[in-house]
C-alpha cells in the first residue's frame, strides 16, 4: 500500500518534519555520494506569502538534511514560466536563493533532448540536471489550477522544460484532456523519487498564480506523486477520480487514486470551504471538447483595465500571439485564442479574468466580445 504522510506544521518544527520524512524514506542510504536535484515550484517572482512558489523554509530544511546525508552534489532549481524572467532574480524574490544555501542553479542553462513516449510529441528539450540526477525530490505547492483544476506533484514536473517551450506545448493539444495527457507524458520522462508538498500556505480559487493564499499548515510527503496529488485533491474537497490528470495517471498504473486504498500517516481532513475552479458538468464537456466544437468550448480571458499595469507579459507569453494591444490595453483575439490561460498564469497583477463558461457564452452572444 502506498503511504502518504501528512504532517502538521502548526505544532511541529519544519526541520523535525523533514527529519522524519528522510528517516521514513531512508534518504541517507539512497543519496550518499549521489547527485540530488531538489525541484521546487519557482513559477515567477512572487514573495512566499503570495502562496505561489514553494516556501523557502521547506527548501532550507531539505538542503540542510541533504548536506548532513552527504549527497555528492545538491542542485536546487526550476524553470520558471517565462523566458522573460531572470532565474536569479526570481530565486531571490521567492526566498529560494538564500534557502538553497549555495545550491541554487539556473537549470535552464543546459538542456538535453530526450525521447518522449507521447502521441503529441516525439522529443523534447529538458534541463540537463534533471536527466543527470540520481535522485529527484519534487517539492510542489498545494494549489488549484484554472486549467487542470489542481497543480501538485504531476504538474510541478512540467517545470523540467525550459521557460518559453512550456507555453508552446499548449499548441500541440486540442483540449484540456489532451493537455492533461501530455502533462502525464512529461511526468513520465523522469518520475521523481520523492515528493514533499508544501501545504503551509496553499492557494485556493483560480490558481496557480492569482488565486487566494490559504493557510493550511501542512507538509505532505510520498514517494508516489499520484497518491500525493489524490490526497491533496481530497483535502480540497474534490474527488480524485474527477481530476483528468489523476484519471490518466491511474489508467497508466502510475499510482493509486482511491483514497481508501492509500495508507495515510496523519490526519486527512477536508478543508472547510476550500475554493476550487469550477469542475462541473459543463466544464467537463468543455475539457473534453473535440476540435470541431472547440471554438464553442473556448473561454476568452478578459483584462481588468483597473488592475492592468500594461507590462505586456501576457502578450509575450501567449503561445499563439492571440493577445495584442488594443487601445493601449491587451486584448485576446477570440479566433486565435486556444484558452491555455498562460496569460492569466503569468500576469503578475491578477488583471486577467477568466469568466465562467456560461458568462463567456453571454459575453460572446450578447455583448459581442
Ligand atoms: S494584463 Fe497583466 S500581464 Fe497583461 S499587460 Fe496587464 S498587467 Fe501585464
Ligand atoms: S490569449 Fe491567453 S488564453 Fe488565449 S491563447 Fe493566449 S495565453 Fe492562452
82 and 133 belong to one structural domain: yes
Site to probe by mutation for ligand 2, drawn from 286, 294, 301 as the one with most ligand atoms within 8 Å of Cβ, is 301
> DSSP string spanning 276-316?
----SHHHHHHHH--HHHHHHH----EE-TTT-----HHHH
Q: Cα torsion for 88, 89, 93, 97, to the nearest 10°?
A: 20
Task: Evaluate whether residue 293 is within a structural domain.
Answer: no
Question: Whole-prediction pTM value?
Answer: 0.95
Residues 6+ apart with CB under 8 A from 231: 4, 6, 220, 222, 259, 262, 264, 268
Three cell numbers written together for 260: 481508501
Last residue of a domain, one of 220, 249, 265: 265
Task: Evaluate whether residue 318 is within a structural domain.
Answer: yes
* Residue 64, pLDDT score: 98
How many whole angstroms from its chain centre is CA 36? 20
Q: Return the CATH number at 302.
A: 3.30.70.20
8-12: average pLDDT = 94
Q: Which residues line ligand 1 (CB under 6 A)?
A: 303, 308-314, 330, 347, 349, 351-352
Q: Which residues line ligand 2 (CB under 6 A)?
A: 301, 318, 320, 322-323, 332, 337-343
Q: What percent of the chain has pLDDT over 70?
A: 96
Assign 164 a pLDDT band (cuts: 50, 70, 90): confident
Last residue of a domain, one of 265, 288, 319: 265
Q: Return the CATH number at 101.
A: 3.40.50
Angle 127-46-308 (CA atoms, 0-180°, nearest 5)? Answer: 110
pLDDT of 291 over the 60 cut:
no
203 and 340 belong to one structural domain: no
Q: What is the pLDDT of residues 208-239, one digit of tens each?
A: 999 999 999 999 999 999 999 999 999 999 99
260 and 307 belong to one structural domain: no
345 and 246 belong to one structural domain: no
What spacing in Å lies between the alpha carbon of 58 and ligand 2's midpoint? 33
Q: Which atom belonging to ligand 2 lies closest to the Cα atom of 167?
A: 7
End-to-end CA distance of the chain: 51
> What is the biggest distance separating any 2 CA atoms in the chain, rounded to whole angstroms?
64
pLDDT of 190 over the 80 cut:
yes
Cα gap 139→291, rounded to integer Å? 35
Task: Evaluate whether residue 308 is within a structural domain.
Answer: yes
Task: Evaluate whether residue 359 is within a structural domain.
Answer: yes
Mean pLDDT of the chain: 93
252 and 329 belong to one structural domain: no
What spacing in Å lies between the alpha carbon of 311 and ligand 1's midpoint? 5
260 and 330 belong to one structural domain: no
204 and 331 belong to one structural domain: no
Task: Evaluate whether residue 146 is within a structural domain.
Answer: yes
Task: Evaluate whether residue 291 is within a structural domain.
Answer: no
Three cell numbers written together for 348: 503578475
Q: What is the pLDDT of residues 83-96, one digit of tens each?
A: 777 899 999 999 99
pLDDT of 261 over the 70 cut:
yes
313 and 260 belong to one structural domain: no
Assign 366 a pLDDT band (cuts: 50, 70, 90): confident
Task: Evaluate whether residue 278 is within a structural domain.
Answer: no
What domain range is 96 assigned to?
3-265
276-294: average pLDDT = 67
Task: Evaluate whether residue 284 is within a structural domain.
Answer: no
65 and 186 belong to one structural domain: yes
101-115: average pLDDT = 96
315 and 205 belong to one structural domain: no
Q: How many domains does the chain have?
A: 2
> DSSP string spanning 331-353?
EE-TTT-----HHHHH-TT--EE
Angle 271-276-282 (CA atoms, 0-180°, nearest 5)? Answer: 140
Shortest-distance ligand to the CA of residue 353: 1
231 and 317 belong to one structural domain: no
pLDDT of 5 over the 90 cut:
yes
- Three-state DSSP class for residue 255: coil
Q: What are phi and psi of 201, to 5 degrees?
A: -115, 110
233 and 348 belong to one structural domain: no
Amino acid at each position: 500500500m502506498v503511504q502518504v504522510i501528512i504532517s502538521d506544521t502548526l505544532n511541529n518544527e519544519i526541520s523535525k518534519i523533514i527529519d522524519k520524512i528522510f528517516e521514513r524514506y531512508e534518504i541517507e542510504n539512497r543519496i550518499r555520494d549521489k547527485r540530488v536535484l531538489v525541484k521546487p515550484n519557482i513559477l515567477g517572482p512572487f514573495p512566499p506569502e503570495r502562496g505561489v512558489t514553494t516556501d523557502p523554509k521547506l527548501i532550507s530544511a531539505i538542503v540542510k538534511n541533504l548536506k548532513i546525508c552527504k549527497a555528492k552534489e545538491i542542485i536546487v532549481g526550476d524553470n520558471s514560466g517565462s523566458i522573460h524572467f531572470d532565474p536569479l532574480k526570481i530565486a531571490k524574490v521567492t526566498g529560494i536563493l538564500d534557502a538553497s544555501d549555495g545550491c541554487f542553479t539556473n537549470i535552464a542553462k543546459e538542456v538535453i533532448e530526450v525521447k518522449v513516449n507521447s502521441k503529441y510529441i516525439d522529443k523534447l528539450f529538458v534541463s540537463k540536471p534533471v536527466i543527470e540526477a540520481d535522485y529527484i525530490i519534487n517539492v510542489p505547492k498545494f494549489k488549484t489550477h484554472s486549467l487542470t483544476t489542481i497543480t501538485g506533484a504531476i504538474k510541478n514536473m512540467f517545470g523540467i522544460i525550459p521557460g518559453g517551450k512550456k507555453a508552446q506545448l499548449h499548441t500541440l493539444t486540442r483540449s484540456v484532456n489532451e493537455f492533461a495527457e501530455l502533462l502525464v507524458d512529461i511526468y513520465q520522462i523522469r518520475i521523481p523519487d520523492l515528493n514533499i508538498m508544501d501545504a503551509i500556505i496553499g492557494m485556493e480559487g483560480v490558481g496557480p498564480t492569482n488565486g487566494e493564499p490559504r493557510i493550511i499548515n501542512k507538509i505532505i510527503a510520498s514517494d508516489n506523486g499520484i497518491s500525493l496529488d489524490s490526497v491533496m485533491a481530497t483535502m480540497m474537497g474534490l474527488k480524485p477520480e474527477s481530476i483528468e490528470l489523476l484519471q490518466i495517471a491511474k489508467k497508466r498504473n502510475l499510482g493509486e487514486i482511491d483514497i481508501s486504498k492509500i495508507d495515510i500517516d496523519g490526519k486527512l481532513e477536508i478543508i472547510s470551504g476550500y475554493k476550487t475552479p469550477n469542475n462541473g458538468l459543463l466544464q467537463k464537456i468543455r475539457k473534453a471538447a473535440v476540435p470541431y466544437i472547440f471554438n464553442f468550448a473556448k473561454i476568452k480571458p478578459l483584462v481588468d483595465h483597473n488592475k492592468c499595469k500594461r507590462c505586456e507579459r501576457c502578450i509575450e507569453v501567449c503561445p499563439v500571439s492571440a493577445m495584442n494591444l488594443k487601445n493601449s490595453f491587451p486584448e485576446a483575439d477570440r479566433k486565435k485564442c486556444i484558452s491555455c490561460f498562460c496569460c492569466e498564469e503569468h500576469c503578475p497583477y491578477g488583471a486577467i479574468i477568466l469568466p465562467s463558461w456560461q458568462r463567456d457564452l453571454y459575453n460572446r452572444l450578447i455583448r459581442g466580445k
